[in-house]
């Protein structure tokens, strides 16, 4: 019987927040027993590398959970990448999620790793035994002309060395399943986890779906229209929505689910209470 993976994402506290707040987040997520927790990364500054590595080390050493460190490509030099990989070695990460990263209008890209696949290839050469994760877009990358073009680019990323994929957010499971079919038809046979971001705030949903060019299905639109000005009720509805998404995905035999916690352990725990039994190991 197939047992899907279950993983989580956290991010380093804002620089204006006490670093210890990450413990509040991790304490709240610990008993969900994820297969791994991924730790996000900023735009490429040294402080970003240090924060990601420290939190990854904490997850591995103090909580006994595998940690995956994000690494974004656009603003990295080869020296920066080597420095980050050395930090991640010390943190004993179980893998690296190689991303292109968002564009920062105030900075010029380094011009070394133009695409995530370039960084994947570099990591594979420098760390041949390290597990490399990659991102994928069920509704296509915003800069891709078509989904087929994006899937072809994704195949190139996998061929370069990515051995596990995690999807960007989506709010209609049919979109993910259709993408999955195209990916498999293109010869992409690595595990592909479905990325689920719970709805907790109407503005953040609008912002994230706009940034990712992700569709807001009518079912979700009705929720935002009815409870957009009532955060507490919208949060409750969002927990139900995410739980139903996950249940449907597991029923369709997906490889796994990656929950974007947004450092809100209470929401993640409520979802886990609803769906945790679906991930019990046989």
Q: What is the mean pLDDT of the chain?
A: 94
- Give the pLDDT score at 106: 76
Give dist(CA 10, CA 181) in Å, integer: 29
Residue 16 confidence (pLDDT) above 70: no
- Give the pLDDT score at 19: 67
Q: How many domains does the chain have?
A: 1
Alpha helix (H) residue ranges in the chain = 21-29, 46-63, 78-91, 116-126, 147-160, 173-185, 202-212, 218-227, 231-251, 265-275
Residue 228 confidence (pLDDT) above 60: yes
Residue 169: name the closest of 117, 114, 210 by CA: 210
37, 8 in Cβ contact below 8 A?
A: yes
Residue 254 confidence (pLDDT) above 90: yes
We report the CATH number of the domain holding residue 103 as: 3.20.20.220
Residue 9: name the closest of 268, 282, 280 by CA: 268
pTM (2 decimals)?
0.95
Residue 93: name the closest of 41, 58, 128 by CA: 58
Backbone torsion region of residue 262, taken as left when φ is above 0, otherwise alpha when ψ lies between -120 and 50, otherwise beta: left
- Give the pLDDT score at 102: 82
Give dist(CA 68, CA 23) in Å, integer: 17
Residue 151 confidence (pLDDT) above 80: yes
pLDDT in tens, 74-128: 999 999 999 999 999 999 999 999 999 888 777 889 999 999 999 999 999 999 9
Residues acting as catalytic residues: 9
Residue 70: name the closest of 112, 16, 7 by CA: 7
Range of the domain at 265: 5-279
pLDDT grade, residue 196 (50/70/90)?
A: very high
- Give the pLDDT score at 1: 59
Residue 29 confidence (pLDDT) above 70: yes
């Amino acid at each position: 019987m197939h047992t899907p993976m279950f993983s989580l994402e956290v991010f380093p506290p804002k620089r204006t927040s006490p670093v210890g707040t990450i413990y509040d987040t991790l304490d709240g997520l610990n008993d969900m027993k994820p297969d791994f927790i991924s730790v996000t990364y900023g735009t490429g500054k040294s402080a970003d590398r240090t924060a990601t590595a420290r939190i990854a080390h904490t997850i591995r050493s103090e909580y006994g959970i595998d940690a995956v460190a994000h690494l974004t490509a656009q603003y990295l030099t080869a020296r920066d990448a080597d420095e980050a990989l050395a930090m991640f070695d010390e943190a004993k990460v179980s893998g690296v999620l190689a991303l292109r990263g968002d564009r920062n209008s105030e900075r010029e890209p380094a011009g070394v790793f133009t695409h995530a696949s370039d960084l994947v290839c570099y990591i594979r050469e420098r760390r041949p035994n390290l597990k490399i994760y990659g991102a994928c877009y069920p509704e296509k990358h915003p800069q891709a002309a078509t989904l087929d073009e994006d899937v072809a680019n994704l195949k190139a990323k996998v061929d370069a060395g990515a051995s596990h994929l995690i999807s960007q957010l989506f709010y209609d499971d049919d979109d993910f399943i259709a993408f999955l079919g195209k990916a498999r038809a293109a010869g992409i046979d690595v595990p592909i986890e479905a990325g689920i971001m719970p709805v907790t705030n109407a503005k953040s949903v609008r912002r994230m779906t706009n940034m990712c060019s992700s569709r807001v299905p009518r079912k979700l639109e009705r929720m935002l229209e009815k409870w957009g000005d009532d955060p507490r009720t919208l949060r409750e509805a969002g927990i139900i929505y995410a739980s139903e998404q996950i249940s449907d995905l597991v029923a369709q035999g997906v490889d796994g689910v990656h929950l974007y916690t947004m450092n809100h352990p209470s929401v993640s725990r409520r979802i886990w209470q609803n769906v945790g039994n679906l991930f019990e190991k046989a």
